[in-house]
Structure 1
Amino acid sequence: MSVTDDIGVLQREAWAAGILPPVEQVRDGLWSIPVPMPRNPLRYVLVYAFAIDDGLALVDVGMDTEESWNALVDGIVETGHHISDVRYAAITHLHPDHFGLAPRLRETTGAVLAMHAAEAAALGHFTPADVAAEAEAWRVDMTELGAPDEVAEAPRFEIVRFPAGESADVVLSGGDRLDLPGWNIEAVWTPGHTPGHLAFLDRDHDLLFSGDHMLPRISPNISSGPGELENPLHRYLLSLHATTALPECEVLPAHEYRFRGVADRARRLMAHHDERLDEIRSAVDAHPESTAWEVTTRITWSRPVDVMSPRLRRLAVRETQAHLIVLADRGEIRSDGGVPARWSLVHTDTKEI
C-alpha cells in the first residue's frame, strides 16, 4: 500500500501509464481502493474505505464481476482489514461500476447499504417480463431520436437489482449525515448524471467524495431516457452551480485521480456545456429539421462516431438529446413533434412574446 501527501500524483501517473493505481492511504483511517472495470475505457472505479469503531465503511463498491470482487477483497486486506469487516456502504448512484457488488457485499458481510431515495426506488425486483418491457421502452425511445437500428437495439447496461422483498437499508436525502462514528460526512444531492446521485462531504477533513458528479479530466455522461430526469442537463448544471458554494477541499472522484479546486472544476464543467450547447445550436442552424442522431454525427467527440461501439453511440445520442432539451427549454430551438423528432432553430423574429 502506498502513502503520499502529493494529491493524486500516484493515481495521475497510473492513469497516464494505462495501469491500475495502488491502494493508497489518503488520510489516517481512509484509503482509496481501485477496483477494475473489465472492458471499459475508464478502467477502474475508486472505492473509498473508512475505518470506523467496529470495522470499515465504503463509498461505492465496484462492478459485479469476479475480477472486481477479488480486487475489492484484496484491496481491503491492504488496509489491514478483511472483507468481513465492512459494516456500511454509501452508494453515490446505481450505475453498475458503483453499485454492482452491493448485493454480494450485503450477502457476504451484512453491511448496511445507504443511497438516495431516487436511486433506491429503481432497485425493486423485476420479473423477466418487466426487464423485457423496460428494454423495449429504451429501444422505442432511441428510435424516436432517429438512431439507426444497430444503436437502438444495442444492449444497455442493466441495473443490478435486489432479490425480491429486499431494499435499501438507509434512504438518504441531501444534508443527511452518515451514521459513521468518528467521521462527519454529509450527503450532498447532485442530480444530473442520475436522478439520485449523491456526493459526500467530509467537513472535518476537507474532502469531497464526488462520485461521477465531478471528475478531473472528463465530463460525466448526462443522458435523457426512460426513468431519467426530464431535463437532466439542466439539473446537472444546477448541481454544478451549487457545488461552487461548497468549501474548498480535496476532491476524491470515482474515476481517474484526486485533485483540488472544487469551484474551479465546477465552473470549467459549466463552461464546457455552454460550449457544447453553442456547437449543437450551430449544427441545428446549419442543418434544419435534423434528428438528435443526425446532430450527434455532426458534432465533435473524443473519437469519431463511426468508430464508437453501438453502446457508446447510444450514450452519445442521449447526451446530444439532453443538450437539445435545454436549448428547447430556452426557446432557442423547437421540435416538429414527429417520430423521429426533427429540430430547427427558432429565429429571433419568430419567437413568441
Structure 2
Amino acid sequence: MAQTFDHGGGIRSVRVPIPDNPLGHTLVYVVDTDRGPVLVDTGWDDPGSWSTLTEGLAACGTGVGEVHGVVITHHHPDHHGLSGKVREASGAWVSMHAADIAIVRRTRETRPGRWFTYMAAKLTAAGAPEEHVSPLRSPGPRAGLPGLSPAMPDREIVPGELLDLPGRRLRAIWTPGHTPGHVCLHLEEAHPAGLPGHGRLFSGDHLLPEITPHIGLYEDPDDATVTDPLGDYLDSLERVGRLGPAEVLPAHQHAFTDAPGRVRELLDHHQERLAGLRDLLSEPLTAWQLAERMEWNRPWEQIPYGSRTIAVSEAEAHLRRLVKQGHAEAVTGSDPVTYVAV
C-alpha cells in the first residue's frame, strides 16, 4: 500500500521505495497546478517502485495519465529513474538543469565499457588495491551501473526563473555540489499553516534533515576539468540558508523547519571534517588511504564494494577543497598520487 502525505496547499508526497538501499525511499512530491499535477522527482526505475508511484497518485486523487509535467532536482536514478515511464503514460514534459541534462546525454551515448575503463583508471590513480579495481576490468553481466539509459529531458530548468506551473510560483535555485546541475525549487507562496518564513523549499538531496548528502567528484570520462564539488556545495548551502524558507520538503526522510539551522550544522560538519583530514595528512596518503581512515557510518571493513568507491570519491572531493584552500598539496613524483598537509 502506497504511503502518501498531505503537506497542505495542494502539495502531497508519495514514498517511492528504492530497492536494496538504506535510504529506503524517495519522496515524490505531487504539486497541484491549473493544468494538472506536476511531479517533483519520480523515483527509482523498478516495477515495485512504479506500482507504488501509480498507487500513490491514485491515493492523491489523480492518476499517472493526468500528470502535466515532471521537475527533476538532479539526474540520479532514485530521482529521475521513472521519468520516462511517467512521460510515456501521460505525455508530460520532463525538465532538468542543463548541467545534469549533459550528464544524461553522455550516459546514454557512452558505452558501458568506457565507464568501466574510466572508473578503473580513476581508482588506480587514487591508490585503490588491485582486488577492488579488477572487477571493473572484466565486469560481469550484472555489474552494470544503474540508470544507463535515463530519459532525455525535453525542457531545461533555468536558475532564477519561475517554472511553467500554471497557478503556482515555483522558482529554480541552482545548488551544485551533490551533482553539477542539482536544483532546489522555491515555492514562493505563503505557508498553508502560517509558519513563519519565506515559502517552502523542495530541496532534493541538497538539504536533508538528518543525513549529510554525498559530495563526490563530478565524473566525466571526456572532461579533465578540475572541479571543486565540495566548494560548490558549501556555497550553495549558504545561498539556501539565506532564503529562509518556512519549511523544507526534502527528497528523503521527512519535512522539516529551520533551514538556516540545518545549513549551519552542515557547514560546521564539513569544516570539522576538513580539519580532521588535515590532521590525517600529516603523513602522505593516497585518496584511498585517506578514505580508509575517515569516519563513516560503519568501520571500513564493513563497507561494501560499491560504497567504498563512493567513499573514495568523497575523500577526493575533500582533498580538492583542501588543495584549493592551500591546506594540502600533491607530493611531487608520487604514483599513485599522495597528498600531504601544508
Q: Which residue matches 1:269?
A: 266
Q: Which residue matches 2:34?
A: 53
Residue 178 in structure 1 maps to residue 168 in structure 2? no
Q: Which residue matches 2:44?
A: 63
Q: Report the Cα offset of residue 341 of structure 1.
A: 0.8
Q: Report the Cα offset of residue 54 of structure 1.
A: 3.1
Q: Which runs of 5+ in 1 are unaligned?
A: 1-19, 347-353
Cα distance in 1 for residues equivalent to 2:26 and 2:278: 34
Q: Report the Cα offset of residue 21 of structure 1.
A: 8.5
**Which one of the candidate residues 207, 210, 220 is aligned to 1:214?**
207
1:138 alignment partner AA: M
Cα distance in 2 for residues equivalent to 1:129 and 1:150: 25
Q: For the structure 1 residues 130 and 315, does the alpha-carbon distance in structure 2 shift closer, same or farther, using more than 3 Å as the test?
A: same
Between 333-342 and 318-327, the greater mean CA deviation after superposition: 333-342
> TM-score scaled to structure 1, two decimals?
0.87
SS of the residue corresponding to residue 261 of structure 2 reads helix
Q: Which residue matches 2:123?
A: 142
Q: Report the Cα offset of residue 324 of structure 1.
A: 0.8
Q: Report the Cα offset of residue 336 of structure 1.
A: 2.0
Q: Which residue matches 2:234?
A: 237
How is 1:248-267 mapped onto 2 (pairs within 5 angstroms)?
248-267=245-264
Percent identical: 36
Q: Which residue matches 1:161?
A: 149
SS of the residue corresponding to residue 27 of structure 1 reads coil
Q: Report the Cα offset of residue 262 of structure 1.
A: 1.2
Cα distance in 1 for residues equivalent to 2:233 and 2:313: 15
C-alpha deviations, 1:159-194, integer Å up to 9, x for none?
34357xxx4221012111111112100000000000
Q: Which residue matches 2:140?
A: none
Between 175-184 and 125-134, the greater mean CA deviation after superposition: 125-134
Aligned positions, number: 322
Q: Report the Cα offset of residue 299 of structure 1.
A: 2.0
Residue 306 in structure 1 maps to residue 298 in structure 2? no
Residue 189 in structure 1 maps to residue 174 in structure 2? yes
SS of the residue corresponding to residue 45 of structure 1 reads strand
Q: Which runs of 5+ in 2 are unaligned?
A: 137-142, 191-198
The answer (yes or no) to whether the contact 1:99–1:160 under 8 Å persists in 2 is no
1:36 alignment partner AA: P
Q: Report the Cα offset of residue 134 of structure 1.
A: 2.2
Cα distance in 2 for residues equivalent to 1:309 and 1:173: 38
SS of the residue corresponding to residue 199 of structure 1 reads strand
Cα distance in 2 for residues equivalent to 1:329 and 1:117: 26
**Which one of the candidate residues 326, 331, 338 is aligned to 2:321?**
326
**Which one of the candidate residues 334, 338, 343 is aligned to 2:339?**
343
Residue 105 in structure 1 maps to residue 86 in structure 2? yes
1:189 alignment partner AA: W
Q: Report the Cα offset of residue 247 of structure 1.
A: 2.8
